[in-house]
């Protein structure tokens, strides 16, 4: 599947691959080789090369690190945060990644719609409750939140990761919404 002509990738200019800096072009081509397509976030952010590099460096630091949060749980945070921020691109793109990582399309759709009613563990619900607080009311986060998370086995590094992922994707959601970033049609078939 490809993007339809009436739905541009972004409201901002998208550079041609041949015109991108070599490091950005190499990263995009590596993603294309692995996934079979180029996610539109790469094309949209290539409009601003320095921000592209900073964005993906922080993204990778949060999402690709070892720790007590599984890759699927990290994606749950992204999907739930993106839902509450009404980011169509991120809900669809990361919902697809969650389907693959959780090996359960139902969970991905449930988290994308309403994680509070999803078939996830109490630990994961506590994680997402905290992620929502960070996304919507970070100024209210306090010791009671930390204690609730620790009761579910999360340590301080895990709590930092939950907060970092939620905060980062809050920013990402806002950029995606302002740029009118379009989800790739390929996302709809992933993990189904």
Task: Tell me what percent of the residues of the chain surpass a pLDDT of 70.
Answer: 97
pTM of the model: 0.93
Looking at residue 192, its pLDDT comes to 72
Q: How confident is the model at residue 6 (pLDDT cuts 50, 70, 90)?
A: low
DSSP string, 67-115: SSS-HHHHHHHHHHHHHHTT-HHHHHHHHHHHHHHHT-HHHHHHHHHHG
Task: Tell me what percent of the residues of the chain surpass a pLDDT of 90.
Answer: 92
Distance in angstroms (rounded) separating the CA atoms of residues 105 and 190:
9
pLDDT of 4 above 80? no
Distance in angstroms (rounded) separating the CA atoms of residues 48 and 34:
24
DSSP3 helix / strand / coil % (the chain, rounded to 5): 70, 0, 30
Distance in angstroms (rounded) separating the CA atoms of residues 163 and 168:
8
Instruction: Tell me the average pLDDT of the chain.
Output: 94
């Amino acid at each position: 599947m490809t993007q339809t002509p009436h739905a541009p990738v972004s409201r901002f200019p998208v550079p041609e691959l041949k015109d991108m800096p070599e490091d950005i072009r190499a990263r995009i081509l590596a993603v294309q080789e692995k996934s079979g397509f180029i996610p539109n976030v790469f094309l949209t952010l290539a409009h601003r090369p320095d921000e592209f590099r900073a964005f993906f460096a922080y993204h990778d630091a949060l999402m690709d690190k070892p720790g007590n949060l599984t890759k699927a749980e990290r994606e749950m945070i992204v999907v739930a945060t993106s839902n509450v921020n009404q980011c169509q691109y991120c809900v669809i793109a990361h919902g697809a990644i969650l389907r693959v990582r959780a090996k359960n399309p139902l969970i991905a759709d449930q988290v994308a719609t309403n994680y509070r009613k999803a078939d996830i563990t109490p630990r994961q619900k506590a994680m997402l409750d905290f992620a929502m607080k960070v996304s919507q009311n970070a100024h209210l986060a306090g010791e009671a939140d930390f204690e609730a998370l620790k009761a579910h086995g999360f340590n301080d590094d895990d709590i930092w990761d939950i907060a970092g992922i939620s905060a980062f994707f809050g920013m990402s959601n806002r950029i995606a919404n302002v740029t009118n970033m379009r989800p790739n049609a390929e996302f709809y078939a992933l993990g189904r």
